[in-house]
Amino acid sequence: EADIYQTPRYLVIGTGKKITLECSQTMGHDKMYWYQQDPGMELHLIHYSYGVNSTEKGDLSSESTVSRIRTEHFPLTLESARPSHTSQYLCASSVSYGYTFGSGTRLTVV
């Protein structure tokens, strides 16, 4: 059973819309991560957090932003969606290196 939840699972949205992808975990993990997975399967880290009020940009530049106001919640926001943002977004959490992944949000921007 999943202890990390991502909503929505699928989202189709028009260009220019603001969207927020939700990620919540119930394990009390301090570290959380957002990965972008392109159609060729490769995963790229776009944001991570060590804990509340701590966020860092990942290895792949992204126009998205994140926040970490509560330990269990790590939402990702796109202020103005574009077709180039079409991808799968995976959220993960960990204590150290034991990552637990959510099921992902598949985003399509039309």
Partner 1 sequence: AQSVTQPDIHITVSEGASLELRCNYSYGATPYLFWYVQSPGQGLQLLLKYFSGDTLVQGIKGFEAEFKRSQSSFNLRKPSVHWSDAAEYFCAVASGDSSYKLIFGSGTRLLVRP
Q: Which residues bind partner 1 (CB under 8 A)?
A: 4, 6, 31, 33, 35, 40-43, 45, 48, 50, 56, 58-59, 90, 92, 94, 96-99, 101-104, 106
Closest to partner 1 by CB, 15 or 95:
95
Closest to partner 1 by CB, 33 or 74:
33
Measure CA of the first residue to CA of the last residue in the chain; give whole Å: 33
What lies within 8 Å, CB to CB, of 3 at 6+ separation is 25, 26, 27, 100
Smallest distance, partner 1 to C-beta of residue 29, A: 10
Residue 4, Cα to own-chain centre: how many angstroms?
11
